[in-house]
């Protein structure tokens, strides 16, 4: 509901003379903001609205909201946020920025950036890359670590409040029928009941924090080659006080909805590698479904408030609604273990397979190289000395892999385990983890001509593996035999191998 006429302020901020400019001022609108682009600056004004989740009904409230926006977002995108400017009316009735007289409004001043640097634009033009998504995941981990822990009731209660809002919004929408809303709401509540204990444990462990709250592709921008989060939820602490994985789930859902399943899987795996948050992984399909449902009813609200002559908004709302339903469908979990000597492409196949198995966002990859680096407290790309590869250390690595795999399988998550697995004892141990939980298991042994392996290891650049041609030579000299797992020719393309395995695994 609009509670105040801002026509004069809009005209003032739309005038190039306000900023000492000659070129026209470009404008943009959202449901709660107006944005004015003047030269190399952006001025963002809160619309004078009063809604169930936001109150910008007075100039003082809008000024405070602007201050909060700068305070929160300057922590994640300091290059973009400059400060707050007051719009004032002097005794002569004229408006000014930071003048004397009555406060009329307020704006956030930002540095202008190329809209093509927004991640949603980069997705459309095919400019997102695996490395960029990995860097984005690490950036989000750092943001979440710095976010303050909030004790605001149990984790399950927080989620129930979101479901309450969704159900109320759907009930007031004309886009979806009652006979399709009721079943979806029922499945959401059943999922909440299943996950309630885990949600409460995570809240007790400090996983509910004051997060970004609106973490989708359009709110990530590339600044000087570095991904930055901006435009967080500043106007409602309750909306942004959430489980850190629910915050992440918005980005995962957005990527999945746009058809970037591999990137969604990569983001969650790199995030969990850094965050050490394995227990929450099985919650992600539920959290992604909640995010899809929110986007469905928000889009439907835009239809109810305006018009949709070409049906584009209706189709978009429907696509989110259907995605929420798909994400809530049960999918049997399983364990796939991929072994082989260095150069067989285990990691590449695992990364190609993971988005294709399990419920979105796909399988958790438990990779020996990354586990080893984490145990030594170094980034995955850091090369470790030979003493990090003693038999005793490797035994610890395989034990840790088994523990992590068991934790995820116990909560109905799917795992792809990636290691050399050239010792029968290591293969038996990982298979036993699945058997103990009555989870389907499949062991894959990748094999290729030694000359090809040598060439691949020699030419490899980057990544977590420390294997050299000398390491490969020692592996070959051991003449490992794997007759208990299925042998797969690793000389082909990883994507084709993964697609074939996914079709067989189910």
Query: pLDDT tens across 232-251, in order?
Result: 999 888 889 999 999 999 99
Of residues 156 and 310, which shows the higher confidence score? 156
* Token reading at 79: 């290059």
Beta-ladder partners of 339: 445
Residue 433 has pLDDT above 80, yes or no: yes
Asked if 197 and 191 touch (Cβ cutoff 8 Å), the reply is no
- CB-facing half-sphere around the CA of 97: CA atoms within 13 A: 18
pLDDT digits (tens, 9 = 90+) for 188-206: 999 999 999 999 999 999 9
Residue 36 has pLDDT above 90, yes or no: yes
Give strand ranges (E) for 323-434.
335-340, 364-367, 415-418
Region 353-380 average pLDDT: 93
3-state SS of 227-252 is EEECCCCCCCHHHHEEEHHHHHHHHH
Cα separation, 415 vs 336, in Å, equals 6
Region 285-301 average pLDDT: 93
Backbone angles phi, psi at 5, to 5 degrees: -80, 120
Q: Which of 311, 223, 240 is CA-nearest to residue 54?
A: 240
Kindly report the average pLDDT of the chain as a whole number. 93
Give strand ranges (E) for 307-422.
335-340, 364-367, 415-418
Beta-ladder partners of 105: 87
Cα separation, 372 vs 363, in Å, equals 20
pTM (2 d.p.):
0.93
Residue 364 has pLDDT above 90, yes or no: yes
* Token reading at 484: 């208990």
Q: Residue 1 has what pLDDT?
A: 60
Cα separation, 58 vs 326, in Å, equals 42
- CB-facing half-sphere around the CA of 84: CA atoms within 13 A: 20
Residue 113 sits at the vertex; the CA angle it makes with 104 and 317, to the nearest 5 degrees, is 80
Cα separation, 249 vs 287, in Å, equals 6
Give the residue carrying structure tokens 């989740």.
53
Asked if 243 and 157 touch (Cβ cutoff 8 Å), the reply is no
Of residues 459 and 43, which shows the higher confidence score? 43
- Predicted confidence band of residue 228 (pLDDT cuts 50, 70, 90): very high
Considering only 163-172, 323-332, 346-355, 457-466, which range has the smallest mean pLDDT? 457-466
pLDDT digits (tens, 9 = 90+) for 453-473: 989 998 888 788 878 888 888
| Domains contained in the chain, CATH given | 7-112 (3.30.200), 119-327 (3.90.1200.10), 335-505 (3.40.50.300)
Residue 2 has pLDDT above 70, yes or no: no
Q: Residue 470 has what pLDDT?
A: 87
Q: Which of 313, 332, 323 is CA-nearest to residue 293?
A: 323
Residue 305 has pLDDT above 80, yes or no: no
């Amino acid at each position: 509901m609009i509670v105040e006429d801002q026509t004069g302020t809009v005209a003032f901020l739309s005038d190039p003379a306000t900023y000492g400019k000659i070129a026209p001022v470009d404008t943009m609108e959202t449901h709660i903001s107006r944005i004015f682009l003047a030269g190399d600056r952006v001025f963002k004004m809160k619309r004078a609205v009063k809604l169930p989740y936001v109150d910008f009904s007075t100039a003082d409230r809008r000024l405070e909201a602007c201050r909060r926006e700068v305070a929160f977002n300057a922590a994640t995108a300091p290059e973009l946020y400059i400060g707050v400017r007051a719009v004032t009316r002097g005794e002569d009735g004229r408006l000014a920025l930071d003048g004397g007289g009555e406060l009329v409004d307020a704006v956030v001043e930002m540095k202008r950036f190329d809209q093509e640097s927004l991640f949603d634009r980069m997705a459309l033009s095919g400019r997102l890359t695996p490395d960029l998504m990995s860097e984005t995941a690490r950036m989000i981990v750092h943001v979440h670590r710095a976010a303050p822990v909030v004790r605001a009731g149990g984790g399950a209660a927080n989620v129930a409040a979101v479901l309450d809002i969704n159900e109320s919004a759907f009930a007031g929408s004309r886009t979806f029928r009652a006979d399709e809303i009721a079943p979806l709401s029922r499945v959401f509540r059943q999922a909440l009941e299943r996950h309630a204990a885990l949600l409460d444990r995570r809240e007790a462990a400090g996983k509910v924090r004051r997060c970004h709250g609106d973490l989708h592709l359009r709110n990530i921008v590339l600044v000087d080659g570095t991904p930055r989060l901006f435009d967080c939820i500043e106007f409602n602490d309750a909306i942004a006080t959430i489980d850190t994985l629910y915050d992440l789930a918005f980005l995962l859902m957005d990527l999945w909805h746009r058809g970037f399943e591999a990137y969604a899987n990569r983001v969650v795996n790199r995030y969990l590698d850094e965050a050490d948050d394995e227990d929450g992984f099985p919650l992600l399909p539920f959290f992604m479904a909640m995010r899809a449902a929110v986007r469905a009813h928000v889009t439907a609200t835009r239809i109810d408030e305006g018009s949709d002559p070409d049906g584009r908004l209706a189709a978009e709302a429907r696509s989110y609604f259907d995605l929420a339903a798909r994400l809530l469908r049960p999918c049997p979990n399983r364990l796939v273990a991929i072994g082989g000597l260095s150069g067989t492409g285990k990691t590449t196949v695992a990364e190609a397979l993971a988005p294709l198995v399990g419920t979105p966002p796909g399988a958790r990859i438990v990779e020996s190289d990354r586990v080893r680096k984490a145990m030594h407290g170094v980034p995955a790309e850091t090369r470790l000395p030979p003493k990090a590869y003693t038999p005793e250390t490797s035994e610890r690595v395989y034990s840790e892999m088994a523990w992590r795999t068991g934790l995820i399988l116990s909560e109905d998550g799917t795992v792809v385990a990636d290691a050399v697995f050239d010792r029968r004892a290591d293969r038996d141990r990982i298979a036993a983890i699945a058997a103990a939980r009555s989870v389907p298991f499949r062991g894959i042994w990748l094999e290729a001509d030694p000359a090809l392996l040598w060439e691949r290891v020699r030419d490899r650049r980057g990544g977590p593996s420390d294997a050299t041609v000398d390491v490969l030579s020692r592996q070959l000299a051991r003449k490992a035999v794997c007759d208990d797992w299925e042998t797969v020719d690793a000389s082909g393309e990883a994507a084709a191998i993964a697609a074939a395995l996914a079709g067989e695994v189910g």
